[in-house]
Amino acid sequence: AYFAASVAKGGDRRGFFGLYVIFAMVLLANTLAVICQPFCSFSDSVSVLIRIAFYAVLIFAVRGRIDAVLLCRLLVLLAFANGFYTIIQFVSYQVSGVYLPITLPFLEVESSEGGIRLDLDSYYMWSFRPSGFFLEPSYAALFSDPGLALSLLSNKAILEKRADLFAAFVITVGLFLSTSSMGLAILAIVWIAAIFKRIVYRGEDGTTRISSPGLLAAMGIAVFLIAVLFSGLVDSSLSRVSSGGSFGQRILRGVELAQDMDIRTFIMGTGLNNLTEYVRYYGATTPYDEANLEYVSAFAGALLNSGILVFIGYMAFSAKLFLSQKDILGKTIALVFIVLCF
């Protein structure tokens, strides 16, 4: 998200100080947790520490060296390809009842969730939710966000003007069909920003004006979306949102666990990838527990795993990421990133 929000600038060489401060705070909190917490296992947190170190080195190496034009095109093309395949998966199931694969046969899936995903009959037992080449519709939604925002909000054509609009349409339909709550959130934010951009503009004299063609186009889009909503196409998504989806496990569980923490754990956290160990050691339970005891939202994970100071730093970093963007494209991608961390 840090790169995506500044993608038009190719990455800011001076803009990564806050990111490395977060890395350092997480490392310090995890070190303290390993030393002080009786349940904390260093071996359980090693994989996360290695990933953090890899991302830190990668960002340092490529900052300011990104080919922004190529990156933008890749983001749009890959999101378009996944949206197109999602549509094909949906049509295949509706027409013939055939489940198309969600993984590439020549790539081995390394995931704790991979087994059931590969057994498509078991995975789709309760509901069919196409996701392209992703194991989870929400992952596809997160992956598609930059491509959708770029195709709709970029001041310069990414592919070609009509091609960008077609890509946005395909990505949008794919997210609708995936019935992902995150997908709906992304669509709402990006399309509202796109409509606003086409209606409101700044004239040559510096005054804010309303575009009549943009207003008519926005009204047409609104009529189309209302028709789609009443057609029942997104009933599954809306029912998931109204029932909370994974909201309880992602947010409410994190809040309840944090409220019951002792002051030491509240300050330094449980240690990375050690929430399960904490829950089992203290017998902490909530009404929202499921099989994967590590699963919480990004913000809740920052609070529980690394403590209140890292959580505050993470929130401040997210706010700075949004406020530092000067155009509607950067602000939209940053806003989506922040919303989906909840």
pLDDT one-digit tens code per residue, 231-254: 555 555 555 554 545 667 778 888
Residue 209, token pair as written in the block: 């004006």
pLDDT for 1: 44
DSSP character at residue 277: H
Each residue's pLDDT tens digit, 94-108: 898 888 887 776 666
Residue 272, token pair as written in the block: 């990375």
Each residue's pLDDT tens digit, 292-317: 778 788 888 899 999 999 999 888 88
**pTM for this entry:** 0.77
Q: Give the relative orientation of helices 298-306 and 308-323 as an angle to the nearest 10 degrees.
A: 140
Q: How far apart are the first and last CA of the chain?
A: 15
To the nearest 10°, report the CA torsion of 66, 72, 76, 79.
30
Residue 80 has pLDDT above 90, yes or no: yes
DSSP string, 67-132: -HHHHHHHHHHHHHHHHHHHHHHHHHHHHH-PPPPSS-TTS----TTHHHHHSHHHHTSS-----T
Residue 8 has pLDDT above 50, yes or no: no
Q: What is the mean pLDDT of residues 9-28?
A: 70
Among 161-165, 221-225, 336-340, the range with the most confident prediction by mean pLDDT is 161-165
Mean pLDDT rounded to a whole number for the chain: 78
**What is the rounded distance in angstroms from the CA atom of residue 290 to the CA atom of residue 295?**
9
- Nearest residue to 55 (alpha-carbon basis) of 110, 3, 112, 114: 3
Each residue's pLDDT tens digit, 120-176: 666 666 677 888 888 788 888 888 888 898 888 887 777 888 898 899 999 999 988
Residue 333 has pLDDT above 70, yes or no: yes
pLDDT for 106: 67
pLDDT for 11: 46
Residue 82 has pLDDT above 90, yes or no: yes
- Nearest residue to 5 (alpha-carbon basis) of 83, 68, 53, 58: 68
pLDDT for 207: 62
pLDDT for 233: 54
Which residues touch 70 (CB under 8 Å, ≥6 apart)? Answer: none
